[in-house]
Amino acid sequence: MARKVIITCAVTGSIHTPSMSPHLPVTAEEIAEAAIGASEAGAAVVHLHARDPHTGLPDQSPERFAPFLQVIKQRCDCVINITTGGAATMTTQERLKPVATFKPEVASLNMGSMNFGLYPMLDRFKDLKHDWERPYLEGSRDRIFKNTFADIEMILTTCAENGTRFEIECYDIGHLYTLAHFVDRGLVKPPFFVQSVFGILGGIGGHPEDIAHMKRTADRLFGDDYRWSVLGAGRNQMTIAAIAASMGGNVRVGLEDSLWIGPKKLAQSNAEQVAKVRRIIEELGLEIATPADAREILQLKGADRVAF
């Protein structure tokens, strides 16, 4: 039987701004439709942020999440993964609110403070239509994406009784050791869903040796206790997904991570990226995981135990 690969789709995120692509979902209706379309294309998991529907500004208030969470759950069976990353401009308390409120099956969790350089995008995107976009991107020159040990512990302990598992986002090798620290303390239980992030300015690069190094280190630290996934930022999205899938990993795509479907060609939708990575996976002789498969592989609590 072929190995099953979990596809996660990150639908909108906080990295890209609305001016960068007309296809980036912003309103609750757009986010819901994008998530459902990604699920229908083959994503077992959808990773969700929210935005102000008028300006596109990242918005972590539970009121922004509620409308699309309910619609997605009603219309498809995908695993819903809510961010605790939010945006680097938010406090940890703000970032945690939706997960604490809605108690999803999966939530993302960043494993370390870091420089998170978005400002090079200003060289490529000149015409920004909202007042907040340019200072938001430019501010990343001198902004730390704060994820201290205390922040991580607060998120873990707040969610400890909710049965929520984490997409543990590791942007560098040291983040794996931070995860090992929390595992040793008993605050994270196996199987760990480790999302290795490649190509963000401030984190590990996207070279094949970087991918191999990340996996070797995780194998050594966690053995059979973890499930590995990757996301490649920007133009390396599909290349990194293909490399990781061939190495036994799962994959994440979506407009949060990359706006592109090919050289100088914007993706028309999240579903288009999911369909492309699905073709890559199936051409490697692998199968895509269904939502039921993902729940079994990651040992999730089930959609009937969430608070939405």
Length of the chain: 308
Question: What is the per-residue pLDDT for 253?
Answer: 98
Write down the pLDDT at residue 39: 98
- pTM score, whole prediction: 0.97
Count Cα neighbours of 12 within 13 Å in the Cβ-side half-sphere: 32
Q: Determine the angle formed by the axes of helices 208-222 and 237-246, rounding to 10 degrees.
A: 40
Which pLDDT value is given to residue 124?
92
Which domains are delineated in the chain? Answer: 4-305 (3.20.20.70)
What pLDDT, on a 0 to 100 scale, did the predictor assign at position 290? 98
What is the sign, positive or negative, of the torsion defined by CA atoms of 102, 189, 202, 158?
Answer: positive
| Burial class, 53, CB count within 10 angstroms (exposed 0-12 / middle 13-18 / buried 19+) | middle
Q: Which residues contact 36 (CB under 8 A, 6 or more apart)?
A: 71, 72, 75, 76
Mean pLDDT for each consecutive 10-residue tract of the chain (308 residues)? 94 97 98 98 98 97 98 98 97 98 98 97 94 97 98 96 97 98 97 98 98 98 98 96 98 98 96 98 98 98 98
Closest by Cα among 40, 36, 42, 44 to 227 = 44
pLDDT score at 1: 78
pLDDT tens digits, 75-112: 999 999 999 999 999 999 999 999 999 999 999 999 99
Q: What angle do CA 63, 107, 249 make, to 5 degrees?
A: 145
Measured CA to CA, the distance from residue 238 to residue 234 in angstroms comes to 9
pLDDT given at position 2: 86
Bridge partners for 228 per DSSP: 194
At residue 201, the pLDDT reads 98
The structure tokens 């730390």 sit at 144
217 Cβ neighbours under 8 A, 6+ residues apart: 173, 176
